[in-house]
Structure 1
Amino acid sequence: MDIDWAALGEVFGVSLVATVALVGVFTLGIIGAGRKPSSGGTPVLARTGAYACFGVCGLAVIYGIYLIAA
C-alpha cells in the first residue's frame, strides 16, 4: 500500500480552506440577518446581504452533493 502524501495534504488543505470560508460566509449571514434597525446603517441592505450569504452557502452545499454523486 502506497500513500500519496502530497495528494492527501492537498485534499486536507483545500478542505480546511473551504470549511473556514463557508463557516465565515454563514456567520456573516447570521450577523446580517440579526441586524436591528436601531443599530445604524440600512437594515434592508444588511438583510439582502444576509440572504446572499445564505444563497452562497446553499450553492456550496448543492455543489458538494453534486461532486459526491458524480
Structure 2
Amino acid sequence: MQIDWAALGQVFGVSLVVTVGLVGIFTLGIVGTSPRAGSSADSAAGAGALVRHSGAYACFALCAAAVGYGIYLIVV
C-alpha cells in the first residue's frame, strides 16, 4: 500500500482553507445580526442596520449553501 502524500496534502490544505473560510463567513453573519454596543434602539432601526442585517443573512445563506453542497457531494 502506497500513500500519495501530495494528494493527501492537497486535501488537507483545501479542507483547512474551506473550513476557516466558512467559519469566518458564519462569524460575519453573527456579528452582523448582533446589536451594536452603545447604540440606542432608534439609531439601530436606520438604513445601516438594514444593510448590516441583509449582509448577515447573505452570509448565513452562503453557509447553508456550502453545507447543502457538501451533503449533495456525500449523497451523490
Relative to the length of structure 2, the TM-score reads 0.84
The one-letter code of the counterpart of 1:52 is A
Rg larger in structure: 2
Query: How many percent identity over aligned positions?
Result: 61
Aligned length: 70
Displacement of 1:36: 3.5
Name the counterpart of 2:27: 27
Q: Which runs of at least 4 in structure 1 moved beyond 4 Å after TM superposition?
A: none
Displacement of 1:13: 0.2
Name the counterpart of 1:11: 11
Higher relative contact order (CA 8 A, sep 6+): 2
Displacement of 1:5: 0.4
The answer to whether structure 1 residue 66 and structure 2 residue 67 are counterparts is no
RMSD value, Cα: 1.9
Counterpart Cα distance in 2 of 1:7 and 1:13: 10
The one-letter code of the counterpart of 2:7 is A
Displacement of 1:69: 1.1
Q: For structure 2, list consecutive stretches of 5 or more residues without a partner in the other structure.
A: none
Residues 26-45 of structure 1: matches in 2 within 5 Å? Answer: 26-36=26-36, 38=39, 42-45=48-51
Relative to the length of structure 1, the TM-score reads 0.91
Q: For structure 1, list consecutive stretches of 5 or more residues without a partner in the other structure.
A: none
The answer to whether structure 1 residue 51 and structure 2 residue 54 are counterparts is no
